[in-house]
Each structure stands twice: as structure tokens, then as C-alpha cells.
Structure 1
Amino acid sequence: MKAQWILLVVGLLASPGAAQTTAIETQVQQQMLDELRAIHRDLKATSTLQFLLAELQIMESSVERANQNRDALKAEVAKLHADKLAMQSEVARFEDDMSKVTNPQTQFIDRLNDLKDQLQKVTAHEAASSERLEDAERRMKAAQSERDDVQGQLSDLVKKLNTSN
């Protein structure tokens, strides 16, 4: 019985001592916690960085497509403008030649009317293509702006990572 009491007292006295942590253990635990937090921050920054890089790649391809579309429309508008000028010149030449003749043949009159109709169609097509070109330029500028925003976010994140290390 006496031995049981001694064991009980020794056990009760030993328990609080085993449960207490020393200052060194607390410091080690704090360092481990700080290291885990730093790892978490790095993982979060890395995943954000990967996301922004993927988004930047998408924006770059979007800008490239918009640029190609704009360039194709510019070429189309330039060709239509050249065609229109050539038709205007041909209509003017036809009208000038017909004014020199007192009784132009009906085939010449029909040809002149056909040329005027074609000129009207080319002019309308040029105007429509010019509108599409303006729209393509707006879309390209919007895509460039979105890309620049993503690049800015990426740059800010890289600066933040560099200052934290």
C-alpha cells in the first residue's frame, strides 16, 4: 500500500513536468510554424504566378489573332480602295468618250451603267470593310489592354516575391 502511494505521488509530480515545454521547445515550434507559413505563402504565390502566366499566354494569342484579323482587313480595304479608284477612272473615261459621240451605241450605255453599278457595290463593300476594320482595331486595343493588365499583375507579383526573399 505504501508503495502504491509513493508511485501515485511520483506519478502526479512527474506529469506536470513532462507536460511543460521548455523555452527552447517553444522557440523551435514557433520556427516550424513560421516555416510552414512561409511555405504556404510560396505555394500560393507560385500557383498565382502559374495562373497569371497561363492567362498571359492566352492574352498574347488573343492579341496575335486580333492583329492578324486587323492586318487582313487593312489589306482588304486597301485593295477595295484601289479597285474603287480604278473603276472611278474607268467610269470617267467612259463618260468622257461617250460625251464625244453624238449617238452612243446601247452596248456602250449598258457597259457604263454596269460600271456604275459595280462602282456602287465596291464603294459599299469598302465602307462595310472599313467599319469591320475599325471594330477589329477596337477589339485589338481591348485585347492589348487586357494583356497589359495581366502583365502588370505578373510584374507586381514578381516584385512582391523579390522583396519577400
Structure 2
Amino acid sequence: MLGRRQQTSTGIGTFYQFWSVLRHALIGAYIADAHLGRYNTIIVAVFIALIGHIILIVSAVPGIIQKSQTALGMFLFAQIVMGFGTGVFKANISLLVAEQYRRTKLFVVETKSGEHIIVDPTLTVSHVYMYFYLFINIGALVGQITMVYSEKVCLLFYFIQGAN
């Protein structure tokens, strides 16, 4: 990474995980509970993470990446900003999903055929989480597949255009 060794790359990755997951998850929970509420905290966190992504993109601009120290500084700053936004987001999104289902007691539903079914809110929330994490994993899989595809196809078009 920018002329650095594997040890530097591993250190930066470990720092990012600590920074986003452990440290700012607590701060995000506090902000949501004491000040903004979960929804508003999530909106602010996504905006902060977006700013971090923009800084990350700028750090890879050819004019900046040629200056190794500047690019590394911007990259680390982007990691810090994205880590804050991501940590605050992660602390609140799962709880917001669970709060959408308000029932807490068992209740009976009658089907069209006249059969009575007992609905357990705990199982319903478990099903909601199952689908929530299913779609997170599908998104992660699709993202990885499309990145490899775009690397093969888009870079090919970039080099073809550059040859003309």
C-alpha cells in the first residue's frame, strides 16, 4: 500500500476495525439514546460515512496518489471518518429493525379456513432478523462479484479508450 509493507496494511486494517466496531458503537448508542433517536442518528452516520468515502476517492486521484505521504494521510483520515460513521450506524440499525415490530404478547389469528394460529412476537422478530441478515449477505456477495466483473470489463474499456 503506497510503498508500505504488509505490516502497515495489517495495522491500518486492525485500527479501522477497532475504530469503527468497538469504539464508535458505544458512542453511537449513546447519541441515539440520549440525543437524536435511532433514525436521526442513522441518517447522520450515513452522511458522515459518505463524506469518508468521498475523501477516500479523492485520496486515490492520480495527482494525489503520486505523493505517497499525502495519499497515506488522506487515506488514514478517510478511514477515521468512515469508521466513525460506520460504527455509529452499526450500533443503531439492528435495534431500529427490531423496534419496527411493536407487539410483545402472544396473540391468535384466524385463517380463512377457520384455523386458529398463535403468533409469537419473539419468533416474528427472529424471522425479521433472519431476512435482514440474509439480504445483507446477498448484498455483500453481489458487491464482491460485481467488483471483480467491473475490474475485468471496465479496465479493459479504459485501456481501449486510452489506446485511441
Q: Same fold (TM over 0.5)?
A: no
| Higher-Rg member (1/2) | 1
> Which structure carries more relative contact order (alpha carbon 8 Å, separation 6+)?
1
Relative to total residues, which structure has the larger strand share, 1 or 2? 2
